[in-house]
Amino acid sequence: MISTSLQRSAWLFLLMAVALFGCGRKEMPQPLSDSAAKPHIENLKYETNGTVMRLDFVLRGNPAGVGYQIDRTMIDPYCECPGFWRRYVDMAAMPRLVNSKTKKILQLSSSVGYVFRIRAVDKEGNFGPWSKMMRVHGVDLFHK
């Protein structure tokens, strides 16, 4: 028969393993708020030309100010899968960004694949949903 302390240790180990390596959402919990007032991005379009990516979008939400966050990850060349997300751009919430067409130019490295995502955030700290993932590849136009 297994001792009680050994059983507790086994359960504790199992609980820690699930907490650390379990599937699920891998970001900080977001506060719940009224979905009608949530900041969001509309008319998102993107295009690449060589080592430049251009984003066009409109921010909607709180008239006191809306900003945006852009996350980026690199594509692993061996498995063709994305890595870990890292914050790439963090634009503070400003009243002038609400309901205006916004353009953002991002620099890419040649011969590297990336995945980007963007979301709106308002002055009160409410987050909008993440956009669909945008998979792009930097291309050196001079040495094709």
pLDDT at residue 5, rounded to an integer = 75
- Please check whether residue 46 lies inside any domain of the structure: yes
Domain around 126? 36-137
Total domain count, the chain: 1
The structure tokens listed for 118 are 């963007």
pTM of the model: 0.71
pLDDT at residue 32, rounded to an integer = 52
- Please check whether residue 21 lies inside any domain of the structure: no
Alpha-carbon gap, residue 5 to 34, rounded angstroms: 47
- Please check whether residue 27 lies inside any domain of the structure: no
**DSSP secondary structure string for all residues of 10-33:** HHHHHHHHHHHH-SS--SPPPPP-
Alpha-carbon gap, residue 99 to 117, rounded angstroms: 20
- Please check whether residue 22 lies inside any domain of the structure: no
Identify the CATH number of the domain in which residue 118 sits: 2.60.40.10
Asked whether the beta carbons of 98 and 38 are under 8 A apart, the reply is no
Return the amino acid letter for 111: S
pLDDT by residue, tens only, the chain of 144 residues: 556 777 777 777 666 666 666 555 555 565 555 545 789 999 999 999 988 999 999 999 999 999 999 999 999 888 888 889 999 999 999 999 999 999 999 999 888 899 999 999 999 999 999 999 999 988 877 665
- Please check whether residue 42 lies inside any domain of the structure: yes
- Please check whether residue 16 lies inside any domain of the structure: no
- Please check whether residue 67 lies inside any domain of the structure: yes
- Please check whether residue 123 lies inside any domain of the structure: yes
